[in-house]
Amino acid sequence: MSCPLSSLVNPLNPKQVLLFYLSGNQSPALELQDVGADKTTATAFADNLSAPVDSKIVNPGSFSALYNENLLNLYGLVQSGPAQKGTTTVDAIAPKRLAQLSPVYKLLLPDSPTNTVIGVAMTTIVVEGQGYMYCMTGTEEKPRITEFSIGWSSSSRGEDLITKPLDTKPPLVASNLAAVFDPVTNKKLIVYQNEDNLRIVESTSENDAVIPNTDDSRDCTGLALVPVATDKGVKLYLYYFMQKGGKLQRVIRREDGTWGDSAAAGDKAVSDPNTFLSACQVGGVIMVYYIAKGESSIHSFRDKI
């Protein structure tokens, strides 16, 4: 089952996770999770009425939430053309547009071929008050990862957005994306997938490198990347799904930049190839979210650091 997901720690309460997802009526919903020492309790905020005719949110497609400029923002992908009644899914390579879904709805770029998004993925990070969004642009034959600067004033006029394509190895057209900011190296890092492996690249297009031991990843796997501060620097916890059995895997980049072995992480596997992943650190655990095989609700997994 495909469902856009995005999670982040509540800026008003470090023991809470704000989990955004697409509800059954194709509108954004929020689950407030209180992460205790042994268990998690959740309160959902969603509209469970019938799906609106004019719903444009893409599924399969990513959600990405970030806290910036003292506002909690949710971004997603919407259909680039008029919505059709009864539409609940969209072709993975169909043209799409970037949109802010909350706290207000607005398109972020003018409608033009150069601003058309393909694939299903987009991800955001904040660096010193500036937001950055990464998504797939170009064509099915020549997809590319593109960086957009975003802010509260960003709109469909696109006057304040800076667009920068990244020079990487050819990504899969429906590759998912995950991004973080490393405060130690002062670099923005983006994980993507090509036909052979998962790869990590800097936003400057430098150091585009294979992530070792990830050639077992399923095509277009969900991706989640979590930075964890330590006394020696920053570790990166990367989560993805295996090709064989759809099991959740974890691979960790150490403080010195070297990667460890891939290891089983989740307690449940997935079956839908469009299953998305989201994860964030709460105290001494990383909360990982996805929809497991045979389930319709969001599954959470605690990964101890």
Q: How do residues 81-123 score in pLDDT, each as one tens digit?
A: 654 444 444 455 567 888 889 888 888 876 665 557 877 788 9
pLDDT exceeds cutoff 90 at 294 = no
Give the pLDDT mean for 205-220. Answer: 93
DSSP state of 259: B
CA distance linking residue 54 with residue 172, whole number of Å = 30
CA atoms within 13 A on the CB side of 44: 11
pLDDT of residue 257: 93
CA distance 298 to 276: 10
The total number of residues written for the chain in this structure: 305
pLDDT at 198: 97
Share in percent of the chain as helix, strand, coil (round to 5): 0, 50, 50
For 38-83, write each residue's pLDDT tens digit.
Answer: 888 888 887 655 555 455 888 888 999 998 878 899 999 888 765 4
Q: For position 54, what pLDDT does the model report?
A: 53
Between 115 and 242, the more confident residue is 242
What is the reported pLDDT for 53? 45
> How far is 79 from 20, CA to CA, in rounded Å?
19
Give the 3-state secondary structure of residue 21.
Answer: strand
Does the pLDDT at position 161 exceed 70? no
Q: Calculate mean pLDDT across residues 236-258.
A: 94
Query: Which of residues 87 and 210 earns the better pLDDT score?
Result: 210
Mean pLDDT in residue range 218-225: 93
Domain ranges of the chain: 5-219
Q: How far is CA 223 from the centre of its chain?
A: 7
Q: What is the pTM of this model?
A: 0.90
pLDDT, position 268: 87
CA pair distance 13, 191, nearest whole angstrom: 28
Tell which CATH architecture fits domain 5-219.
Answer: 6 Propeller (2.120)
Q: With beta carbons less than 8 A apart as the criterion, state whether 135 and 52 touch.
A: no
State yes or no: pLDDT of 301 exceeds 60: yes
Residue 264 confidence (pLDDT) above 70: yes
Question: DSSP letters of 147-174?
Answer: EEEE-TT--TT-TT--EEE---SPPPTT
- Determine which of 22-31, 115-124, 139-148 has the lowest per-residue pLDDT on average: 115-124
Average the pLDDT over 117-134 and give the result: 86
